[in-house]
Amino acid sequence: MTDRLSPKAIMDKLISFPTVSRDSNLPLVDWVESYLNSHGIEAHRHYDESGEKAALFAHVGPWIEGAVILSGHTDVVPVDGQPWDSDPFTVTERDGKYFGRGTCDMKGFDAIAIWALVEAQHRGVTRPLQLALSYDEEIGCTGAPPMIRAMQPVLPKGSAVIVGEPSMMKAVTGHKGGYGYATHVQGFEVHSSLIHTGVSAIMFAAPLIEWANRSNEANRDKAPDEIAAMFEPSWTTLHVGVIEGGTAQNITAKDCRFSMDMRVVPSESADDWGDAYKARVREVETQMQAIHPETRIDVTQTFNVPGLKPEKDGEAEAIVRQITGDNESHVVSYGTEAGQFQEAGYSAVVCGPGSIAQAHQPNEYISVAQFQAGVDFADQLVARLQEG
Ligand SMILES: [Zn+2]
């Protein structure tokens, strides 16, 4: 049996693997698996389609349902073009901070979770603890749903999930859902002087974008429900951030592509918003096809991150509140994997060390104090699991 590493030593190791989302995370997964194995903990993998990435999950304690699950992602955002004062893939301590890509988002928490699992194994727990490490979180939270599906037939079902995204150890019980659609309007080219026989993809994109504007105004003007009122702003927002199309000022545009993203308050249905958009698309397409039948509009979903809905008497929230003493309500504006766990039937909360303000930045860091607060939290969590 190998030595029990400190949380800091585990973080050092995790940061040393440059698991940028576009690259493989298998060297990191190999290390975590062999470390857990060396402490008698069996780990399971779920590979993505490429076989280059894997999620890892593990269970400690009695083989019964009701585990607390500590969940984090293993991927990090790129460092390309960012001015770093030290090697991003080596943890460097200065001024009371640990610098390194992923220290804050979120290998610091991953390290604490791995440490907690090994602690639980050695101390002995009467309520189980599980670890779930995903991939591809930073490119649209696409790795967690297949991981969750893969865990369910292999491990006894856990009940409360703590997703350790940086929240300054506050209990975050809600976030909006994020949904993205790529829209490709395909028009028909003629000289612009003959516009009655042509279809400008740009001009038929315009009513779809205007639909987003009008929806934003209508959403803003209606009274928010109790859950929506927690958010800033307290309504669902639609946004077109990228658009391209057209070839010349005197040719009706053959193509126009734009992105439509939706930030949906968790009390509203994202599917309803998607359906409303697609219904508007079909109306516009019908108008286009009345001019020229070989025109069309294709809509494909590019991301889908369900919102996290504050739970009434949620178990995950209760565990975090008991340990941290934080009794306030917090919601955040960024999406996490907690909404995906909740959608799959788990109680879920976001609570992790560090501040989201430091995530994705050059010279990303977690303060030594926040890292220690995370370790103290995990230590108390394991103590509670020993009591059952
Ligand atoms: Zn993250």
Q: Mind listing the pLDDT tens digit of every residue in the chain (388 residues)?
A: 568 999 999 999 999 999 999 999 999 999 999 999 999 999 999 999 999 999 999 999 999 999 999 999 999 999 999 999 999 999 999 999 999 999 999 999 999 999 999 999 999 999 999 999 999 998 889 999 999 999 999 999 999 999 999 999 999 999 999 999 999 999 999 999 999 999 999 999 999 999 999 999 999 999 999 999 999 999 999 999 999 999 999 999 999 999 999 999 999 999 999 999 999 999 999 999 999 999 999 999 998 899 999 998 899 999 999 999 998 889 987 889 999 999 999 999 999 999 999 999 999 999 999 999 999 999 999 999 998 6
CA 370 to chain centre: 21
Q: What is the 134 CA–ligand 1 centroid distance (Å)?
A: 11
Q: What is the 171 CA–ligand 1 centroid distance (Å)?
A: 16
Q: What is the 52 CA–ligand 1 centroid distance (Å)?
A: 20
**Contact (CB, 8 A) for 288 and 201:** no
pLDDT in tens, 60-81: 999 999 999 999 999 999 999 9
Contacts of 166 (CB under 8 A, 6+ apart): 104, 105, 106, 109, 352, 353, 354, 355, 356, 358, 359, 366
pLDDT in tens, 92-103: 999 999 999 999
3-state secondary structure of 172: strand
In this structure, what DSSP letter does residue 2 have? P
Q: What is the 249 CA–ligand 1 centroid distance (Å)?
A: 43
Q: What is the 318 CA–ligand 1 centroid distance (Å)?
A: 22
**Contact (CB, 8 A) for 301 and 180:** yes
User: What pTM was estimated for this model as a whole?
Assistant: 0.89
Q: What is the 335 CA–ligand 1 centroid distance (Å)?
A: 9
Q: What is the 293 CA–ligand 1 centroid distance (Å)?
A: 46
Token output for 320: 């975090």
- Determine the Cα–Cα distance for residues 47 and 157; give it in Å rounded to an integer: 20
Q: What is the 368 CA–ligand 1 centroid distance (Å)?
A: 19
Q: What is the 32 CA–ligand 1 centroid distance (Å)?
A: 19
Q: What is the 143 CA–ligand 1 centroid distance (Å)?
A: 12
End-to-end CA distance of the chain: 27
